[in-house]
Structure 1
């Protein structure tokens, strides 16, 4: 944890001439961008995987007809097809999974008052007037929803809402263009039964980010907002 804290502090010191009191917040945005750059190869692989899975749908449809009365044989045949074509049904989850450690590090870093037995100096940093260790509830209890800290959250919520609306429209268009793909995978691939249910709520997933931003420390919320915005732009390019 102390090594990670030193990294954030060094980035803040580097950005201090440009951002002043908000240098730590800028450092978190920069750190998030660096994480996303590292994860980008996985995102590209996930995009190729989705295209490959879409191309397999005609073959899966044939297998469904062929083994309609034998679900176990159908599952085995679909798994063999994925293995033969070197397509993983779960490849799209990898970019998100590899980002979780960075998010939790930030969460814990700005949730603790001490680091290595010393006072956590990063908690003294702010984004404008909002302390990076505070939450939305703290902003509401301070100056209210439209106080100094409250307005910072209004801005974050506005960004998340715009990104979520963009993702909602894009996901609906993709599902309309390829409605059979999730269902086929969900029914034919072992362990993927939840995929069918997830497709029903998938267009609304981005809006759940609003809840995350509201309950985590502001530093972690900055990571979430930056990463979510990056994902929206990245997916629009990779899945165009």
Structure 2
């Protein structure tokens, strides 16, 4: 790892281990698990303004779907003109195609830190204390078992599947009736990619995915009201 990346990893390690020490008297053996959940919730709370902006952008783009469809039909034979007209429409309405990705991009550094902290035996020049934590008997630094799943992995997988199912229902309700079939298929499939992702990550990162996706569902449900 490049040396300039060691500083944030070291800082995050000391912060998380300090939080685990504070939680130890209350959470016992699950102090590291609670610390991961708490840190994830704090990060998502800080990202609420971006999430609100992303949701407004999504709603604005949904309202623009009829106009975008009209432009596509009108300039089907002129891709360059279509691109200019779509960009002009977005500029006039103050919408952007990338607003919905802002919360996800902002979480990327935290996700990378979580993966790094629970994938290394040595961090900040000392033995990694975080990977000694466990959930239902499974070490937080362990990866998904290929042959037989332990209770912790099965529970995480089942909960991720439930959250993905709710996410599919929510996304389908948000789609415009005129949305193409491909968009509906993607809305039905993409939420379940968290299961595939968790299969290649430490248990701690799977716990992060479960926490952040659950937050996303709750947040979108509230914003829709």
Q: Same fold (TM over 0.5)?
A: yes
Measure the CA separation in 1 of the matches of 2:155 and 2:76.
52
Corresponding residue to 1:124 among 132, 137, 153: 132
Paired residue for 1:208, among 189, 193, 208? 193
- Give the aligned partner of residue 5 of structure 2: none
What is the total number of aligned residue pairs between the two structures?
217
Matched with 2:170 is 170
Deviation at 1:156, TM superposition (A): 0.9
Alignment of 1:51-62 (within 5 A): 51-62=59-70
Counterpart-to-counterpart distance in 2, 1:20 and 1:47: 38
Whole-angstrom distance in 2 between the partners of 1:60 and 1:210? 34
Aligned residue in 1 for 2:100: 92
Distance 1:39-1:66 versus aligned 2 partners, 3 A rule: same
Q: CA deviation at 1:8?
A: 0.7
Report SS of the residue matched to 2:47. helix
* Distance across 2 between alignment mates of 1:109 and 1:68: 50
Aligned residues: CA RMSD? 2.0
The alignment status of 1:227 with 2:225, answered yes or no, reads no
The residue aligned with 1:217 is 202
**Distance in 1 between the 2:137 and 2:60 partners?**
48
List runs of 5+ in structure 2 lacking aligned partners.
1-8
Q: SS in structure 1 opposite 2:95?
A: coil
Q: Find the aligned partners of 1:222 and 1:165 in 2 and give their Cα distance.
A: 17
Deviates more, 1:198-207 or 1:20-29: 198-207
Q: TM-score when scaled to structure 1?
A: 0.83
Query: For each residue in 1:119-166, what CA deviation from the matched residue of structure 2 results, as whole angstroms up to 9, or x when unmatched?
Result: 11112111231111112218x5xxx43xxxx11111111211111111
Instruction: In structure 1, list runs of 5 or more residues that go unmatched.
Output: 184-195
Q: 2:177 aligns with which of 163, 168, 179?
A: 179
